[in-house]
Amino acid sequence: MSKVRVGIVGSQFVANLHAEAFRCVPEAELHAVASPDPQHAGEFSARHGIPHRFTDYREMLRLDELDVITVACPNHLHAQVAIDAARAGKHVVCEKPLAMNLDECDAMIDACRRAGVLLLYAEELLFAPKYVRAKALADEGALGDVYYVRQLECHYGPHSDWFWDVNLSGGGVLMDMGCHSIAFGRWVYDNAPIESVYAELGTHVHGERTRGEDHSLCILRFEGGRLAVAENSWARTGGVDDRAEVYGSQGLTVADLLRGSALTTFSQRGYGYALEKAESTAGWTFTMFEETWNYGFPQEMQHFVRCVLGEEEPRSSGEDGRAVLEAICAAYASARTGQRVSLPFEAARAARKPIDLWLGE
Ligand SMILES: NC(=O)c1ccc[n+]([C@@H]2O[C@H](COP(=O)([O-])OP(=O)(O)OC[C@H]3O[C@@H](n4cnc5c(N)ncnc54)[C@H](O)[C@@H]3O)[C@@H](O)[C@H]2O)c1
């Protein structure tokens, strides 16, 4: 294999981040994009210099020379796209959350295993340079025995309508952004099994727009009573806030992914772009630079390409995505009953989508 040829399913927000990321990977070549809107697909392929474009991803999968696809479309489509891609012999990079329920996760994992292709779970926080440094500090013992990890990812709500429709998204902010925070906690604890989950959910600001929760607090308990807290919001103004804290018996580290990396700017008139989902650029703002790199997308795609080439072992797989989704399901169930929920949480299988375990549907 000379270059790894990549096809992207989707052409909007995260698809752009994927394309920008792959353009930084010397061993990768952006080869095709599939998106149902021909105008979007056309603009996307022109912007990123992609030779092939399709309105039906199944046609893209017929390209023999394609090695890997990225699933960058709404959550309810992840499983079908990934399974079709695996059957077509393509490696799969799948955006978070892995799928809408555990049965879908298992079907994706099984399809990829049978086809002998990789299922790579795209959790970019595991590649964000500042968080990689925090994890390295924990691993070298700088903090002593780690007993508490807190990860927070918040903004004022997503950019596309489908996120707000729980039938397409599977849930609110816990499903959308809790998956990042839960994955981060698992990673710091070397993907140790989660023993139990407790959660509080609420819809404080966007009740007219969604049945999903717009604020969530989730406590995950690992072996030995070690804790991770996932704190997530679609109700928080001021642009994206993404932070992690890791506490150990002999130290702690605090990482602010966006504001800590940003310029501090004052502008009376405002300016073009400051930070993801910032409502305003007037007054004092945090001006991000190299945002894609600070989030870890190029590093993530570099790693996935090396996995496809057989040079590295996946740091984030379908099984990891499944474990995160199982914790999300347990959190929804906990928020309904007010009780801590133990894992494995087989009752999650009864739910077509995670939020049903909270709404009682
Ligand atoms: N890792 C991250 O930080 C991150 C950030 C944003 C979104 N995401 C995830 O990425 C996925 C996409 O989110 P987004 O923000 O890019 O959404 P978006 O609404 O910006 O884009 C969705 C894209 O999917 C396309 N699409 C819809 N139906 C399709 C179909 N049948 N076949 C092919 N394409 C189809 C749309 O045309 C659009 O191009 C979601 O699963 C989301 O959770 C991850």
- The answer to whether the CB of 45 is under 6 A from ligand 1 is no
Tell me the per-residue pLDDT of 98-124, one tens digit each, with 9 for 90 and over: 999 999 999 999 999 999 999 999 999
Taking a C-beta distance cutoff of 8 angstroms, is the pair 4, 27 a contact? Answer: yes
Place of tokens 């992207």: 8
- Rounded to an integer, what distance in angstroms lies between the CA atom of residue 357 and that of residue 61? 35
The number of the ligand 1 atom at minimal distance from the alpha carbon of 81 is 32
Ligand 1 centroid, distance to 56 Cα (angstroms): 15
Taking a C-beta distance cutoff of 8 angstroms, is the pair 306, 91 a contact? Answer: no
Mutate to test the pocket of ligand 1, among 8, 9, 11, 14 (most ligand atoms within 8 A of CB): 14
- The answer to whether the CB of 11 is under 6 A from ligand 1 is yes
Which residue minimizes the CA distance to atom 43 of ligand 1? 96
Torsion region of 68: left, alpha or beta (phi above 0 gives left; psi -120 to 50 gives alpha): beta
Which residue minimizes the CA distance to atom 32 of ligand 1? 35
- Rounded to an integer, what distance in angstroms lies between the CA atom of residue 132 and that of residue 253? 12
Q: Which two tokens stand for residue 275?
A: 């930070």
pLDDT of residue 2: 80
pLDDT of residue 350: 87
pLDDT tens across the length of the chain (361 residues)? 689 999 999 999 999 999 999 999 999 999 999 999 999 999 999 999 999 999 999 999 999 999 999 999 999 999 999 999 999 999 999 999 999 999 999 999 999 999 999 999 999 999 999 999 999 999 999 999 999 999 999 999 999 999 999 999 999 999 999 999 999 999 999 999 999 999 999 999 999 999 999 999 999 999 999 999 999 999 999 999 999 999 999 999 999 999 888 999 999 999 999 988 888 999 999 999 999 999 999 999 999 999 999 999 999 999 999 999 999 999 999 999 999 999 999 999 989 999 999 999 8
The number of the ligand 1 atom at minimal distance from the alpha carbon of 297 is 1
Ligand 1 centroid, distance to 160 Cα (angstroms): 9
Show Cβ contacts of residue 282 under 8 Å, excluding neighbours closer than 6 positions.
Answer: 267, 268, 269, 270
Ligand 1 centroid, distance to 11 Cα (angstroms): 7
- The answer to whether the CB of 213 is under 6 A from ligand 1 is no
- The answer to whether the CB of 298 is under 6 A from ligand 1 is no
Query: Treating both helix axes as pointing N-terminal to C-terminal, what angle do 38-48 and 13-22 enclose, rounded to 10 degrees?
Result: 20
Tell me the per-residue pLDDT of 48-70, one tens digit each, with 9 for 90 and over: 999 999 999 999 999 999 999 99
Tell me the per-residue pLDDT of 155-205, one tens digit each, with 9 for 90 and over: 999 999 999 999 999 999 999 999 999 999 999 999 999 999 999 999 999
The number of the ligand 1 atom at minimal distance from the alpha carbon of 75 is 41
Ligand 1 centroid, distance to 130 Cα (angstroms): 26
Ligand 1 centroid, distance to 9 Cα (angstroms): 8
The number of the ligand 1 atom at minimal distance from the alpha carbon of 122 is 1
pLDDT of residue 1: 60
Ligand 1 centroid, distance to 248 Cα (angstroms): 37
Average pLDDT score, the chain: 96
- The answer to whether the CB of 55 is under 6 A from ligand 1 is no
Query: CB 203: neighbour CB atoms within 10 A?
Result: 18
The number of the ligand 1 atom at minimal distance from the alpha carbon of 44 is 39
| Cis peptide upstream of residue 97 (ω within 30 degrees of 0) | yes
